[in-house]
Amino acid sequence: MKKVILGLSAMCLIAFTSCKENAAQKIDEANVAVAAERDAVASKFPVLEFDKKEHDFGEIEAKTSVETTFKYTNKGEAPLVITNIKSSCGCTVPQNWSREPLLPGDSGEFSVKFNGSGANKITKTITVTANTEAGSEIVKITAFVKPDPNKAVPAKS
């Protein structure tokens, strides 16, 4: 019985090793070229460049709504896709940006509306999420919000 098992094992070993194919012969040169081109393009990113990174509204009255526009250009080598623009709080609302891909060299814009809440020096950040190498870019708005003149001032004793 041992000789039969040993004989079958030897035959299986010979059969498995003699049927081995060379994996290198299965590589298609056309697929290698396509993969190399894909990998070269994957390292190219869009570059989001703003006309300004910060906007100062100066002095504004409390509860006064103000708005500005941030303009940007795709300075990279791949189409730019902005997936989201959000602010650091609900008092600042980014709006009106294109969700369509922006080709290299093309420009776009979005507006930011601030409702004038808060007091004294205010700084709000707006995060632009895009397919850039960093993944997101930040712009800021600042303002000095003057106290509401209609708000009652507590009397000193």
Per-residue pLDDT of the chain (157 residues; tens, 9 = 90+): 878 887 888 777 776 666 566 666 667 777 777 777 766 666 788 999 999 999 999 998 888 889 999 999 999 989 999 999 998 888 788 888 888 899 999 999 999 998 888 888 999 999 999 998 888 999 999 999 888 766 655 555 5
Specify the pLDDT at position 157.
52
pTM confidence score = 0.67
Task: Provide the residue count of the chain.
Answer: 157
Q: Is the dihedral of CA 43, 44, 46, 49 positive or negative?
A: positive
